[in-house]
Amino acid sequence: MTHYRRFFTVPWKRSKMCIFLIGSICFVGIYFIFIPVTFNYFALIAKIKVKENIALNVMERFAFPIKGYDKPQTAKENRSNIFRFKPFLLNRKVEGPTANVAPFASELNDTQPFRFLINERDLCKDSTPFLVLLIATKADEKPLREAIRKTWGNESVIPGTKVIRLFMLGVNDKERNEAILKESNQYHDIIQQNFLDTYKNLTLKTIMGLKWVATYCAGANFVMKTDTDVFVNTEYLIQSLLRPLTPPSSYYFTGFLMRNAKPHRHIESKWYVPKEVYSSERYPDFCSGTGYVFSGNLVAKIINASLKVKFLYLEDVYVALCLEQEGINMVPPPNNYLFNIHKVPFSPCTYNSLITSHGIQSHEQIIYWEELQKNKHMCAK
């Protein structure tokens, strides 16, 4: 025993030292591994907050124009606003995993096989419109459609300027479709094709609208694609943006311009796009689907290109890919506060000189519109 102990004592002390040293190194190592994990943790907190509807504040910080509605004063500020928007774009995930909800429609390489269930063939028969409003909607959004009909979607918003309003739908269940048929008979402002009405089929909806214009309304000067939760100041759009452009001598396409956006490779993102579906590391510049406007002569171009461009369910990116295929560039709007992808706090004079504001409910559509009509004459031009 003593022999052993003597043999053991000295090395044991050293062993303890060794163990301590190795332990310390491990600790430092684990600490450094922990840092990224901790960042993920913060990201998670941000996500939870988004879910709790503190979202708007967080998002508005990145979206442009920011709260308070400051116009950019310098070129540097202009640029930094675009940079500030980037993190928002890269992190715009919501509502948990969607990847397992539906298969990718990208496997559909043919976007043309659908037929109209509800059509309005004669809207442009007698005269060609100045502007066609293509509004993506879903069956259960009747209150929003009603609000839009009474407000910014009113076709006689500008006397002497022909505007056509069309709501675009896919199909859901049969029961809801009967209500839609009734609504269509009443207002004649709905078109519908027989594809399933899902988020991942939004591109089909846009293509349907474009095909409608190409087929039944080819002479339209301008087309705008937007959504039901967007407030559109059609008066400003027509009078201040589009009228000065006419007659359109060339191709025109504008909206909230997204530059250098990257595909989301994270499977939990609502905007998840795997490499097999879109391999490039960047999207082309595209205009947010909340509202983009273009000259009627682009409709056929986009449809043409869509026969060659691989399907992508992000309709705004898809349209940009079609334009890229045709060698057409989008242009930034005359100023950065016209097209907004967030909800701009309401005041009559702010809304008097913007074109889109996003995240608007049906009662807000009405209140904002009425307040705007009542007060717009008091705003500085």
Ligand X SMILES: *[C@@H]1O[C@H](CO)[C@@H](O)[C@H](O)[C@H]1NC(C)=O
Nearer to ligand X, 206 or 336 (CB): 336
Nearer to ligand X, 78 or 240 (CB): 78
Shortest Å distance, C-beta 159 to ligand X:
8
* 326 and 305 Cβ atoms separated by less than 8 Å: yes
Nearer to ligand X, 36 or 103 (CB): 103
Label residue 347 left, alpha or beta by phi (over 0 means left) and psi (-120 to 50 means alpha): beta
Nearer to ligand X, 57 or 335 (CB): 335
Neighbours of 125 (CB within 10 A): 9
Shortest Å distance, C-beta 338 to ligand X:
9
Give which of 305, 275, 122 is closest to 206, Cα–Cα.
305
Shortest Å distance, C-beta 343 to ligand X:
22
Shortest Å distance, C-beta 102 to ligand X:
4
Enumerate binding residues for ligand X (CB under 6 A): 72, 74-75, 78, 102-103, 105, 109-110, 149-150, 154, 156, 195-196, 198, 200-201, 300-301, 304, 332, 335-336
Run of H or E residues at 133: strand 131-136
Q: How far apart are CA 33 and CA 26, in angstroms?
A: 10
Shortest Å distance, C-beta 61 to ligand X:
20
| Residue 193 to residues 176, 202, 211, 274, Cα–Cα distance (Å) | 15, 12, 11, 28
Nearer to ligand X, 41 or 95 (CB): 95
- 366 CB burial (10 A radius; 0-12, 13-18, 19+): middle
In this structure, which amino acid lies at residue 314? L
